[in-house]
Amino acid sequence: MAQRILVVDDTPQNVKLFTDLLISQGYEVDSASSGEQALAKIAAAAPDLVLLDVMMPGMSGYEVCRRLRANAATALLPVVMATSLDPNEERVKGIEAGADDFLSKPVNRPELFARVRSLLRIKALQDERLARLKSFFSPQLAGLIAAGKAEELLKTHRREITVQFFDLRGFTAFTGAAEPEEVMELLHAFHGALGKLVLEHEGTIERFAGDSVMVFFNDPLPVERPAECAVRSALAMMRAFDPIATVWKKRGYDLGLGAGIAQGYATLGAIGFEGRRDYAAIGPVTNLAARLCAEAKGGQILTDVKTSAALEGVFEFDALGPFSLKGFAQPVPAFALRKAV
């Protein structure tokens, strides 16, 4: 697929010149005649690079660039600014606004092509890094990390979160009878469905541990009503797992999915060593969610008292237990999700 460049200039002759030159090099080109129109087009479908005029009526190129850099989704979008004004003075202003490179008008064609190719190569490397980060974090947070703007978010800190555990029922018997390739096939389907739904509900996947997965909500980025996000994503996952279980039932395996959800304070931050770090949550709330998950039957979602109380009027729960859970001195009450109100 051809890389797409957005040319932003209020002079039609300049737009035609840049468009013709870039198309001749195999690029797909779109255009905007104002800063406001450029931002709207970028928000609708981000290009691979922006060629941005400095002086335009209304919003200047500098302001467009500053707005792009302030938005996590476009913080890394390559921007080349072009102007017929004093190149030395304007270059400094452009760099301060966040531009990646600078061109003087009338444009030197070989220089234009060289700068565009160089920035697109850098963007390809950034896209690769961002794709790896998205396997651990939400797209919004991954963008902040890749742009170098998430250092404070990833430092060790304490916060109230909602923790969610999933665990496959019948997995031990399955692994004893199935071929290794079949085990990987099941886990691929399970993790693929879960990962998509977690990101849709603004969760953070802490780890995959074979047939178990831990997710938490409200960190590193705050989430409105994290308990509700956790329960709704758990319900969505139960629905998504039904066809997976049906496929394996036809192949002679009885599989189910249990879930446990708990709310409380945890210590969070990056752990590991240079070259390999994970983002983790540590505290009793993670253990409680895991223990509730272990008590859940296939298709059942169990929550702690804080989660059920936070969702009063939104969901209905049946009181269960109390359960004697490993790691807890006193029996723990639990609540089984019944339905949405």
pLDDT tens by residue, 213-236? 999 999 888 899 999 999 999 999
Please answer whether residues 266 and 283 qualify as being in contact, where contact means their C-beta atoms are separated by less than 8 angstroms: yes
Rounded Cα distance, 25 and 51, in Å: 15
Q: Which of 32-36, 98-102, 223-227 is least confident?
A: 98-102
Quote the mean pLDDT of the chain.
89
Tell me the backbone φ, ψ of residue 155, rounded to 5 degrees: -70, 155
pTM summary value: 0.66
Q: Per-residue b/e over 269-296, b at no fewer than 16 CB within 10 Å?
A: beeeeeeeeebbbeeebbbbbbbbbbbb
Give the pLDDT of residue 341: 45
Pick the closest to residue 35 from 56, 14, 17 (CA basis).
56
pLDDT, residue 283, reads 94
Q: What is the pLDDT of residue 139?
A: 64
Q: Taking residues 123-143, report their average pLDDT.
A: 70
Q: What is the pLDDT of residue 207?
A: 78
Residue 340 has pLDDT above 80, yes or no: no
Instruction: Report residue 83 CA to chain centroid gap.
Output: 36
Distance CA 39, CA 59 (A): 10
Any residues with CB less than 8 A from the CB of 264 and at least 6 apart, and which? 160, 161, 163, 283, 284, 285, 288, 304, 306
Which sign does the torsion angle of CA 149, 152, 155, 159 carry? Answer: negative
Residue 11: per-residue pLDDT: 92
Contact 279, 268 (CB under 8 A): yes
What does residue 196 show for φ and ψ, rounded to 5 degrees? -60, -45
Mean pLDDT of all residues in 23-35: 95
Q: How far apart are CA 162 and CA 160, in angstroms?
A: 7
The answer to whether 335 and 302 have CB atoms below 8 angstroms apart is yes
- List C-alpha distances in Å: 274 to 145, 154, 244: 16, 15, 38
Lowest mean pLDDT among 53-62, 123-132, 286-295: 123-132
Name the token pair of 280.
């983790």
pLDDT of 297 > 60? The answer is yes
pLDDT band at 95 (very low <50, low <70, confident <90, very high): confident
Give the pLDDT band (50/70/90) at residue 294: very high
Using 50, 70 and 90 to split pLDDT, how confident is the model at 143? low
pLDDT at 61 over 50: yes
* Residue keyed to tokens 């298709």: 299
φ, ψ for residue 195, nearest 5 deg = -60, -45
What domains sit in the chain, N to C, each tagged with a CATH number?
4-134 (3.40.50.2300), 155-340 (3.30.70.1230)
pLDDT at 269: 86
Over residues 162-184, the mean pLDDT reads 95
Nearest 5°: CA angle at 31, between 27 and 33?
Answer: 155
Mean pLDDT confidence for 279-305: 95
How would DSSP label each residue in 44-71?
HS--SEEEEES--SSS-HHHHHHHHHHS
What percent of the chain stands above pLDDT 90?
65
The two most distant CA atoms of the chain are separated, in Å, by 78
Q: Report, as an integer, the average pLDDT of 91-106.
A: 84
Q: Is residue 122 predicted with pLDDT exceeding 90?
A: no
Q: Could you give the angle at which helices 139-146 and 109-134 cross, rounded to 10 degrees?
A: 130
Whether residue 41 is predicted with pLDDT greater than 70 in this model: the reply is yes
Residue 2: pLDDT band (50, 70, 90) is confident
CB 138 within 8 A of CB 199: yes
pLDDT score of 131 more than 80:
no
More confident position, 271 or 328: 328
User: Using N-to-C axis directions, what is the helix angle for 12-24 and 109-134, rounded to 10°?
Assistant: 70
Conformation bin of residue 170: beta by default, left when phi > 0, alpha when psi is -120 to 50: left
**CA quadruple 26, 87, 148, 153: dihedral sign:** negative
Q: What is the pLDDT of residues 307-316, one digit of tens each?
A: 999 999 999 9
Per-residue CA distances from 231 to 210, 236, 260 (Å): 22, 9, 10
Record the tokens describing residue 260, joined without a space: 């446990």
Q: What is the pLDDT of residue 312?
A: 92
